[in-house]
A and B are shown apart, each in its own frame.
Chain A
Amino acid sequence: MRVKTFFPFLFLLVPVLAGCTVKAVGDPNRPITIKADITIDIRGLKKTAVGIEDMVAEGTSPNV
């Protein structure tokens, strides 16, 4: 690999590796509980809510 192309490659590789590496630490016999926070897209949810309320107000049948 040429020296001049090596640095951009390295520049790309470092964050990719840093972002994807999972380090396993601790006792393997003890399960780790991960408390995940779910991010809800309010815009997407609002679109669904408007669709349902329109359906109720307009008297159209729900799609199955």
Chain B
Amino acid sequence: MFRRNFLFSWLLCFATLTLSPLPALAQKSYDLREMTPEIKQAIENRKARYAELQQLKIQTVVGENNQGLAELLKSSPEARGVIEGENRDRRVIYQAIVDQNGLGNQGMAKVQAVFAEVQRGKARPGELIQLPSGEWVQKT
């Protein structure tokens, strides 16, 4: 009986010390917690220009840079208008994620880097993407 109590108390200690950091290790979620009219409009604008932007990417007029923004790679006044609008809307979304999740001063750079990574992953073969190093490559 005494031995069992002794073992149990040690087991309790071990469990407390090893399991206590678990909440800190859990994956945190970052959401657009409040869909303001501005954010909603930015998403709707992006959906509306999605096909046009994809066409410009296929033509390699536009590429995805390493800051989560579309970048004009060939001279085209029409494409310039498209990417200016696209980047304006992307910045609204990025800033909302930073603000609504309290990501602080360094948050914007992180959010942009993560979105850039997602854009690189979603790019189709032949499209131009900028690597974290700054080098532009054609997606294979």
Contacts of A62 in B (CB 8 A): 32, 35, 39-40, 43
Measured between C-beta atoms, what is the minimum distance from B63 to chain A in Å? 16
A-B contact count (CB 8 A): 89
**Smallest CB gap from A5: residue in B:** B9
B122:A56 contact, CB within 8 angstroms = no
B:97-114 near A, CB below 8 Å? 97, 102-104, 106-107, 110-111, 114
* Contact A12-B13, Cβ < 8 Å, known A44-B27, A46-B118, A49-B114: yes
Measured between C-beta atoms, what is the minimum distance from B105 to chain A in Å? 9
Q: Does A30 sit at the interface, judged by CB under 8 A?
A: no
Q: Is the interface of A mostly helix, strand, loop or mixed?
A: helix
B111:A45 contact, CB within 8 angstroms = yes
A5:B6 contact, CB within 8 angstroms = yes
Contacts of B97 in A (CB 8 A): 45, 48
Q: Does B29 sit at the interface, judged by CB under 8 A?
A: yes
Measured between C-beta atoms, what is the minimum distance from B2 to chain A in Å? 7
Could you list 24 examples of A-B contacts with CB < 8 Å? A2-B5, A5-B6, A8-B9, A8-B10, A8-B12, A12-B12, A12-B13, A12-B17, A36-B104, A38-B104, A40-B30, A40-B110, A41-B28, A44-B29, A45-B110, A48-B31, A48-B97, A49-B111, A50-B118, A56-B46, A56-B50, A59-B47, A62-B32, A62-B39
Measuring CB to CB, which residues of chain A are less than 8 angstroms from any residue of chain B? 2, 4-5, 8-9, 11-12, 15, 36-38, 40-50, 52-53, 55-57, 59, 62-64
